[in-house]
Structure 1
C-alpha cells in the first residue's frame, strides 16, 4: 500500500535528516539524534510526571513515572515501558509524548525506563535493566497507586525486544506476574536477509545497514547463536508467556521478524493480536504529529485496557 501524503512527507524528512548512525560511534549517534530533536512545545497533560532513580543490577536506573489525571477508587494498571533506539540511542525524552498519550489512553501508570545503552553497556546490560525495572515496579506498585497484579510490559523497536525479554525472564524466574505485553515493530533477532529486509533495506528511515550496526553495538559476538534473552524467538519454549499485542509496519525491514515472533507465540498457545499497519514505516507510532499514528493509537488503547483488566493469577 502506498504512503499517504503526510506519511510520505515525514518519511522524506527522516530519510534526508536522520544521521547515518553506521558511520558513527555510539556517543556520536546519540549526540546527533539529540541535536536533531525538537522539544515538544505543548506536551500532552497528564496527572503527574516524576523523574526518579531505582536500583538496578549495576547501579541506579533512571525512570520517569506518569500518572493519569483521572481519579480511581481502585489501584490502576501499570505499564513498564522501554524506548526504542537500536539499544544505542534515544532516552526518556525521546518517547515522552508517547508515554503521556498511553498514560491517558489506557488510564494507567506508565513507568518509562532509561536502561543502559550500547556499546558502552553491551548485552545483557539492557536486558538485565529491563527485568530489574519490571521487578521494582511490581514490588513498589502500591506506592505508585498501581496494582501489581495488572502489570504490563511494552516497548517499541529495541524496546519491544526488551519488553519481550522481560516477559520471558519473568516467566522463567517465576516473578513478577506480567499480564500482557505490547511489542511495537519489535527487534527480535539478528537476521538481515528476510523478505522485509530485502524489500525495505533502504529508503524507509530504518535501514538494513543501520540495524546491522545497532546489533554490532549491542551483541558484537555470539550473533549466530544469539541467546533467547537477546533474540526471544530463539527460546526453546514460548508457552506460558503473557498475552501479546504485536504491531508491525508494512514498510519496515523488521516487519517479518515481528510477525514471525507473533506466530511463534500463537503456536505456543499464547493469545496474540498481531496487526500489520499498511503503508507505514518503522517508528511511525511514536510520531505524535502523524494522523496515522493517532488513528492507530485509538485502535490500540482499548486493546491495552482489555489486557490490563485481567488480574494475574497468583
Structure 2
C-alpha cells in the first residue's frame, strides 16, 4: 500500500506536529488542540445554521443545526453527527466545515452534537448517552427541522463514529427512534491495540498508538467496561436489526482493522453495509479539506449514504 501523494508530502510534518496528548491531562490537551484551531474565514455557505440548547441526560446540550444550500423540495434526511477527537477534544467549531459540506452534499439537515468530553465533563457512557439523547430529540422534532421522519441517520468520525454506532445500538435496544442508516468514518470501535494495523501504522502515521490508548483511558478507564457493547460495539453479541451502514476506512490507519471487523460483523448479522476504502488515507483525513483525497472521500461517502436513503439498503 502507498500513501496518497499529498499526504506523503506532509506526513512527517503532520506526525511531528501532533501534540503528545498522552502526557497531558484532558483539559490541558483540549486547550492545546483548541489553541491550534483556525476558523475558516469563508465557510461553505449553507441555507441556515444556528445553535440550540436541548435537554440532555447530564444537563443542557448544545446542538448546531445546518440546513443545506439547496432548493426547498420538501422533507429531507436528517443526520445526527458526533464529532471526533478521542472523546476528549474537538467541538462544534472544529467540525463545522465537515458538517456544512455534508449538509450540502447530502441535501440533509445536519444536527451536530456537543456531547460531554472526557474526563472532566463526563466519562463513559456520558458521551454516548448524550448522542443518543440528541438523536431522540431530533426524531421528536424532525418535522420542525424540515426532515423526513423515515430518514433519520446517525454519523460520526473516529470517536464520534463510536458514539454514532453506540447510539444506533441504543436505539435498537430501547425500541426508538427508528433509524434509516449510519455513517461511520474510521470509527474507534474496539479497544484492541495489537491488531496488525495498530502494529503497522501506530507510529509515524499521525494519531499514534500512545494517543489512541490514552483516549480510551480518559473515556473508559475501567478496562473491564471496554467489552461492553455501548463502549466497544464490536463486542456486541447481536448486531442484527441495525440500520444499513456506510463505513469509511483509511488504509494507513491504526483503526483500519477494527473498522473492517465491524463492517464484516454487521454483514454477518444481516445488516446491509457499504465499505468506502481509501488506501492512501490516514486517520482523520476527511477533516483535512486541503487534500484532494478528502474531497473524493466525502463525495463517495455521501453518494453511498444518498443511495442508502433512496433504496432503503446500502449496496452490497
Q: TM bucket by the smaller chain?
A: over 0.9
1:137 aligned partner: 138
1:101 aligned partner: 101
- Tell whether 2:288 aligns with 1:287: yes
2:266 aligned partner: 265
Matches within 5 A, 1:17-56: 17-56=17-56
2:80 aligned partner: 80
SS in 2 for 1:309: helix
CA contact (8 A) 2:156 2:185 kept: yes
How far does residue 42 in structure 1 lie from its aligned partner after superposition? 1.2
Deviation per CA, 1:23-78, whole angstroms, max 9, x where unpaired? 10101111111111222121111101011111101111111100012123321110
Q: TM-score, normalised by structure 1?
A: 0.96
- Tell whether 2:128 aligns with 1:127: yes
**Distance in 2 between residues matched to 1:159 and 1:62, nearest whole Å:** 16
Q: How many residues align?
A: 312
1:250 aligned partner: 251
How far does residue 216 in structure 1 lie from its aligned partner after superposition? 0.3
2:193 aligned partner: 192
Do the aligned partners of residues 24 and 31 (structure 1) sit closer, same or farther apart at CA in structure 2, a change above 3 Å counting? same
How far does residue 311 in structure 1 lie from its aligned partner after superposition? 6.6
SS in 2 for 1:159: helix
Deviation per CA, 1:184-204, whole angstroms, max 9, x where unpaired? 100011110000000011111
**Distance in 2 between residues matched to 1:175 and 1:311, nearest whole Å:** 18
Structure 1 residue ranges (4+ consecutive) displaced by more than 6 angstroms after TM superposition: none
**Distance in 2 between residues matched to 1:155 and 1:49, nearest whole Å:** 19
**Distance in 2 between residues matched to 1:219 and 1:225, nearest whole Å:** 7
Deviation per CA, 1:85-137, whole angstroms, max 9, x where unpaired? 11001000111111000000010000000000001110010010010000000
Do the aligned partners of residues 311 and 176 (structure 1) sit closer, same or farther apart at CA in structure 2, a change above 3 Å counting? farther
CA contact (8 A) 1:150 1:311 kept: no
| CA RMSD after TM alignment | 1.4
- Tell whether 2:13 aligns with 1:2: no
SS in 1 for 2:9: helix
Query: Could you tell which deviates more after superposition, 1-10 or 156-165?
Result: 1-10
**Distance in 1 between residues matched to 2:226 and 2:129, nearest whole Å:** 19
Unmatched 5+ stretches in structure 1? none
CA contact (8 A) 1:18 1:33 kept: no
1:152 aligned partner: 153
Matches within 5 A, 1:161-172: 161-172=162-173
**Distance in 1 between residues matched to 2:188 and 2:104, nearest whole Å:** 26
Unmatched 5+ stretches in structure 2? none
SS in 2 for 1:153: strand
Query: Could you tell which deviates more after superposition, 214-223 or 126-135?
Result: 214-223
**Distance in 2 between residues matched to 1:311 and 1:191, nearest whole Å:** 33
1:89 aligned partner: 89
CA contact (8 A) 1:153 1:163 kept: yes
SS in 1 for 2:228: coil
1:112 aligned partner: 112
Do the aligned partners of residues 63 and 225 (structure 1) sit closer, same or farther apart at CA in structure 2, a change above 3 Å counting? closer
**Distance in 2 between residues matched to 1:37 and 1:14, nearest whole Å:** 14
**Distance in 2 between residues matched to 1:179 and 1:185, nearest whole Å:** 20
2:239 aligned partner: 238
1:13 aligned partner: 13
